[in-house]
């Protein structure tokens, strides 16, 4: 059984298909059709809902953290122990919520199809920031598409709703909601099942290891932003899933003198500040990663686990020399991330083995990363590049260069690195290293880019890296080409 609050109402669900998304649960099971389906693939934001979770802040106070998610990619089992808020819950005692009122007053809605999604993104923005600047508003809304209104009035609504935010029913009920969430806080592995289909929801790494041993055919579910597409886009059924998002041990970030250790189930939004602090370019890349909704649910472990050749974090992590800790039963092994990716979607992961954490070394000052995609926001890379050199008196003593989108896996450019190491860091060396990239990669053409474009982009990104290191005031780093 899983339990969660549907706004204030306790729901205990025993027998639901674990392949059911929150979107379909709301619309088809509860008849709450305010939440819309636009794409069912995380691209349009029409299905945005807000999920509240207990959270202890830096001062030790218990709070509820509200986050916008795409309900089309969220399976119901991941609501266990949380609060689900949909657009129907905002109007209170006959009064529109202040974010709804702002949308009305700023003329932020025409046909209205996208409006519930925008309203929920604005609600999360309002809850999470006191006086958001326009960058924060853009970030909160980048995952919501509108085909009629245009974004200016919606951004005006964001400003109005966040600069003047009267206390709402969620504020006045906060203590009560915290108490209710504590009362349903999970204490042991939960299960949602229907017939032969099941989703198990463990709370500890040890329980996950045992369950994965017992169900080696299970699919691990983290944020579901890749996995759910198998259901919503390819109409497959996932008979057994194990949800890792309630395992606190796998959601911590620990900072040591020489490294960060990031639990594999840490949401990309939660990785931002530690990675940005250490490597500003990594932070910039995370800003460019999908949309806020996707980053709120998608995890770093899932980005590695899906083994996509165009996943954004792996090239950066490989260039930094990151390692992953793999766990199977009671056995753990540490593997360089570059050795994890073997071939297209083939990895070194054994049956019942899972990624427990990612170890990111600190202290690489010449690390830079670049993403080339057709749109700035909410777009997958055509090419993603990461460069990490060490210079001693102008001579390159170490080089780690890695790319996504150039091969069947995220991959180091070993020929390019061989040219760089031992050479003087100058334009002539860069040109030789660019030529060597053609030996490293034979990219494919697809709808994102032609093979020629990819190779030329990779070479130009190396040139750009060189120019930026020579002239640090030029900072056009995380790139979009239209
Ligand atoms: C609209 C949209 C935009 C996107 N944009 C980007 C983008 O800009 N850049 C990018 O890189 N990706 C992008 N993605 C892909 C996706 O969001 C990321 O890959 C994300 O990091 C996946 O994490 P998740 O937690 O949602 O993974 P899930 O979907 O839960 O899992 C993905 C895979 O990893 C496996 N897995 C999960 N956790 C573990 C673990 N601990 N150990 C082993 N295997 C595990 C799962 O079994 C599954 O096979 C986008 C997706 C969508 C829908
Ligand atoms: S329906 Fe488009 S993002 Fe969910
Ligand atoms: S108001 Fe019509 S899609 Fe946005």
Burial class (CB in 10 A: 0-12, 13-18, 19+), 431: middle
Question: Residue 248: which of 4, 1, 55, 10 has the closest Cα?
Answer: 55
Domain 367-470: assigned CATH number: 3.30.390.50
Q: Is the CB of 227 under 6 A from ligand 1?
A: yes
Taken in order 225, 226, 228, 229, is the CA torsion positive or negative?
A: positive
CA of 217 relative to ligand 3 center, distance in Å: 42
* Domain extent listing, the chain: 2-184, 367-470
Residue 123 reports pLDDT greater than 80:
yes
> Of 379 and 357, which is predicted with more confidence?
357
Q: Is the CB of 153 under 6 A from ligand 1?
A: no
Query: Which SS3 state, helix, strand or coil, does residue 58 take?
Result: coil
Residue 134: pLDDT band by 50, 70, 90 thresholds?
Answer: confident
- Radius of gyration (C-alpha) of the chain in whole angstroms: 23
pLDDT score recorded for residue 415: 98
Ligand nearest to the CA of 212: 1
Q: Which residue is closest in CA terms to ligand 3's atom 4?
A: 146
Question: Residues of the chain with pLDDT > 70: what percent?
Answer: 98
Q: Which residue is closest in CA terms to ligand 2's atom 3?
A: 42
pLDDT digits (tens, 9 = 90+) for 88-116: 999 999 999 999 999 999 999 999 999 99
* Contact present, 246 and 186 (Cβ < 8 Å): yes
Residue 261 reports pLDDT greater than 60:
yes
Average pLDDT, the chain: 95
Q: Is the CB of 40 under 6 A from ligand 2?
A: yes
pLDDT digits (tens, 9 = 90+) for 42-78: 999 999 999 999 998 888 889 999 999 999 999 999 9
Tokens 């055919």 sit at which residue? Answer: 217
pLDDT score recorded for residue 463: 97
Residue 475 reports pLDDT greater than 80:
no
Taken in order 318, 324, 326, 332, is the CA torsion positive or negative?
A: positive
Q: Is the CB of 320 under 6 A from ligand 2?
A: no
Enter the pTM of the model. Answer: 0.96
Residue 178 reports pLDDT greater than 90:
yes
Q: Is the CB of 150 under 6 A from ligand 3?
A: no
pLDDT digits (tens, 9 = 90+) for 190-213: 999 999 999 999 999 999 999 999
Question: Residue 76: which of 141, 6, 138 has the closest Cα?
Answer: 6
Q: Is the CB of 151 under 6 A from ligand 3?
A: no
Which residues contact residue 17 at a Cβ distance below 8 angstroms, ignoring those fewer than 6 apart? Answer: 194, 197
Q: Which 3-state string (H, E, C) describes the chain? A: CEEEEECCEEEEECCCCCCCEHHHHHHHHCCCCCCCCCCCCCCCCCCEEEEEEEEECCCCCEEEEEEEEEHHHCEHHHHCCCEEECHHHCCECCECCHHHHHHHHCCCCCCCCCHHHHHHHHHHHHHHCCCCCHHHHHHHHCCCCCCCCCCHHHHHHHHHHHHCCCCCHHHHCHHHHHHHHHHCCCCCCEEEEECCEEEEECCCHHHHHHHHHHCCCCEEECCCCCHHHHHHCCCCCCCEEEECCCCHHHHCEEECCCEEEEECCCEHHHHHHHHHHHCHHHHHHHHCCCCHHHHHHCEHHHHHHCCCCCCCHHHHHHHCCCEEEEEECCEEEEEEHHHCEEECCEECCCCCCEEEEEEEECCCCCEEEEEECCCCCCCCCCEEEEEEEEEECCEEEEEEEEEECCCCCCEECHHHHHHHCCCECCHHHHHHHHHHHHHHCCCCCCCCCCHHHHHHHHHHHHHHHHHHHHCCCCCCCCCCCC
Q: Is the CB of 111 under 6 A from ligand 3?
A: yes
For the CA of 40, the nearest atom of ligand 2: 1
**CATH fold of 2-184, please?**
Ubiquitin-like (UB roll) (3.10.20)
* Contact present, 41 and 72 (Cβ < 8 Å): yes
pLDDT score recorded for residue 472: 66
Residue 378: pLDDT band by 50, 70, 90 thresholds?
Answer: confident
Q: What is the mean pLDDT of residues 316-336?
A: 98
Q: How far apart are CA 101 and CA 157, in angstroms?
A: 9
């Amino acid at each position: 059984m899983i339990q969660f609050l549907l706004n204030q109402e306790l729901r205990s669900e025993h027998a639901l298909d674990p392949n059911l998304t929150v979107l379909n649960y709301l619309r088809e099971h509860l008849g709450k059709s305010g939440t819309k389906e636009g794409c069912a693939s995380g691209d349009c934001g029409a299905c945005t809902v807000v999920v509240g979770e207990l959270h202890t802040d830096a001062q030790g106070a218990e709070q509820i953290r509200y986050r916008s998610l795409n309900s089309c990619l969220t399976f119901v089992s991941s609501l266990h122990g949380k609060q689900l808020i949909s657009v129907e819950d905002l109007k209170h005692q006959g009064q529109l919520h202040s974010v709804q009122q702002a949308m009305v007053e700023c003329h932020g809605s025409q046909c209205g199809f996208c409006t519930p999604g925008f309203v929920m993104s604005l609600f999360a923005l309002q809850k999470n920031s006191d006086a958001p600047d326009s960058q924060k508003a853009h970030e909160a809304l980048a995952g919501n598409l509108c085909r009629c209104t245009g974004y200016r009035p919606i951004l005006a609504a964001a400003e109005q709703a966040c600069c003047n935010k009267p206390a709402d029913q969620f504020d006045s009920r906060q203590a009560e909601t915290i108490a209710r969430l504590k009362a349903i806080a999970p204490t042991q592995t939960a299960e949602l099942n229907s017939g032969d289909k099941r989703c198990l929801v463990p709370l500890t790494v040890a329980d996950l290891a045992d369950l994965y041993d017992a169900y080696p055919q299970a699919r691990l579910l983290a944020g579901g932003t890749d996995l759910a597409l198998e259901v919503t886009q390819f109409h497959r059924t996932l008979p057994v899933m194990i949800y890792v998002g309630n395992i606190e041990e796998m959601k911590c970030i620990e900072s040591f003198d020489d490294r960060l250790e990031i639990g594999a189930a840490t949401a990309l939004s939660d990785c931002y500040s530690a990675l940005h602090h250490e490597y500003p370019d990594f932070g910039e890349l995370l800003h460019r990663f999908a949309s806020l909704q996707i980053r709120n649910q998608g995890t770093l472990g899932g980005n590695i686990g899906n083994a996509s050749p165009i996943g954004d974090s792996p090239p950066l992590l490989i260039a930094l020399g990151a390692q992953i800790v793999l766990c199977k039963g009671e056995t753990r092994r540490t593997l360089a991330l570059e050795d994890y990716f073997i071939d297209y979607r083939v990895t070194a992961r054994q049956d019942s083995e899972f990624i427990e954490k990612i170890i990111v070394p600190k202290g690489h000052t010449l690390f830079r990363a670049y993403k080339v995609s057709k749109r700035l926001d909410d777009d997958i890379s055509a090419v993603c590049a990461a460069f990490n050199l060490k210079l001693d008196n102008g001579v390159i003593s170490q080089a780690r260069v890695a790319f996504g989108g150039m091969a069947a896996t995220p991959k180091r450019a070993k020929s390019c690195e061989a040219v760089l190491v031992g050479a003087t860091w100058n334009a002539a060396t860069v040109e030789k290293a660019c030529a060597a990239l053609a030996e490293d990669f034979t990219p494919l053409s697809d709808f994102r880019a032609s093979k020629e474009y990819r190779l030329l982009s990779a070479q130009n990104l190396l040139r750009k890296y060189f120019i930026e290191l020579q002239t640090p005031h030029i900072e056009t780093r995380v790139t979009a080409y239209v």
